[in-house]
Amino acid sequence: AAGVIQSPRHLIKEKRETATLKCYPIPRHDTVYWYQQGPGQDPQFLISFYEKMQSDKGSIPDRFSAQQFSDYHSELNMSSLELGDSALYFCASSLGTSGGPYNEQFFGPGTRLTVL
Amino acid sequence: AQTVTQSQPEMSVQEAETVTLSCTYDTSESNYYLFWYKQPPSRQMILVIRQEAYKQQNATENRFSVNFQKAAKSFSLKISDSQLGDTAMYFCAFMKFARDDKIIFGKGTRLHILP
């Protein structure tokens, strides 16, 4: 079965540079979530989109922005990178229109961002 | 706000033994979901088991079962006949009973299965 695809899988950037992370949800899934997992930390929710509209926002820095496109893929744009942005960034997708209250979030493999 | 607490940062057990991971949570919601996620060295997030708060019956998935105590806000995971492949970080997690809500994770318990 198709899974969530994230690209790139690994990314190395210098401080103050910009990075773009991409997420391709499972086909037919209309909801995308972004989580950030710092070294030795638990995943923290950043932002989510449902049907191309932002649906919820967590502790996402103002330097970060994200959007969901017409094909439901999502991109997380990160500017003025800081050392503390080094983390594993997960994208998850779900089928928000399943009709039930529970829609399992399927996680992608993550993008490991290293800021030097 | 919801919080999830895992009081065991690290545990080790011998292969084939049974191990229980503890989790407590705090919420004012009456309906919600609780999860245990496994994160092996590959860092992939894998859903192990899910419990709906409105269900009194404890969820089970093969060798994995939970002890859900709603009044005590406790949600422990029992792994029976532990295997080397169970070595991983385990996260207890919470989600409101609402479509498309975010998942809130605990700090995790690192579990080592020893040969």
Query: Which of B29, B99, B23 is CA-nearest to residue A42?
Result: B23
What is the distance between the alpha carbons of residues B100 and B31, in angstroms, rounded to a whole number?
A: 15
Q: Which residues of A touch B (CB under 8 A)?
A: 31, 33, 35, 37, 41-45, 48, 50, 55-56, 58, 88, 90, 92, 94, 96, 100-105, 107, 109-110, 112
**Does the pLDDT value for residue B5 go beyond 60?**
yes
What string of H, E and C letters represents the secondary structure of B36-73? EEEECCCCCCEEEEEEECCCCCCCEECCEEEEEECCCC
Q: Where are the domains of chain B?
A: 3-114
Identify the band that residue A97 occupies on the pLDDT scale cut at 50, 70 and 90.
Answer: low
Q: Residue A85: what residue type?
A: D
Q: Which residues of B touch A96 (CB under 8 A)?
A: 99-100
* Contacts (Cβ under 8 Å, ≥6 apart) of B43: A37, A88, A109, A110, A112
pLDDT at B60: 94
pLDDT at A100: 61
Structural domain that includes position A65: 5-115
Identify the band that residue A102 occupies on the pLDDT scale cut at 50, 70 and 90.
Answer: confident
Q: Which residues of A touch B103 (CB under 8 A)?
A: 33, 35, 43, 45, 92, 105
Identify the band that residue A101 occupies on the pLDDT scale cut at 50, 70 and 90.
Answer: low
What is the distance between the alpha carbons of residues B76 and B34, in angstroms, rounded to a whole number?
A: 10
- Measure B104 CA to nearest chain A CA, in Å: 7
**B74-79 average pLDDT score:** 98
**B61-81 average pLDDT score:** 97
What is the distance between the alpha carbons of residues B94 and B19, in angstroms, rounded to a whole number?
A: 21
* Residue whose tokens read 């993550």: A110
Identify the band that residue A12 occupies on the pLDDT scale cut at 50, 70 and 90.
Answer: very high
pLDDT at B101: 86
**B86-92 average pLDDT score:** 98
Of all residues in chain A, what percent carry a pLDDT higher than 70? 96
Rounded to the nearest integer, the mean pLDDT of chain A is 93
**A49-54 average pLDDT score:** 92
Residue B1: helix, strand or coil by DSSP? coil
What is the distance between the alpha carbons of residues B70 and B82, in angstroms, rounded to a whole number?
A: 26
CATH number at residue A62: 2.60.40.10
pLDDT at B100: 72
Q: Report yes or no: B99 at the A interface, CB cutoff 8 Å.
A: yes
Rounded to the nearest integer, the mean pLDDT of chain B is 95
- Measure A107 CA to nearest chain B CA, in Å: 6
DSSP letter at A82? Answer: -
- CB hemisphere CA count around A115 (13 angstroms): 18
Is the distance from CB of B24 to CB of B2 less than 8 angstroms?
A: no
Phi-psi region of A77 (alpha: psi -120 to 50; beta: other; left: phi over 0): beta
Overall residue count recorded for chain B in this entry: 115
**Does the pLDDT value for residue B98 go beyond 90?**
no
Total of domains in chain A: 1
Q: Which residues of A touch B50 (CB under 8 A)?
A: 102, 104
pLDDT at A99: 56
Top residue of A59, A105, A112 to mutate, by most chain B CBs within 10 Å, is A105
**Does the pLDDT value for residue A111 go beyond 90?**
yes
pLDDT at B56: 87
Q: Which two tokens stand for residue A114?
A: 């290293």
Homologous superfamily in CATH for domain B3-114 = Immunoglobulins (2.60.40.10)
Whether residues A96 and B99 touch (CB distance < 8 A) is answered with yes
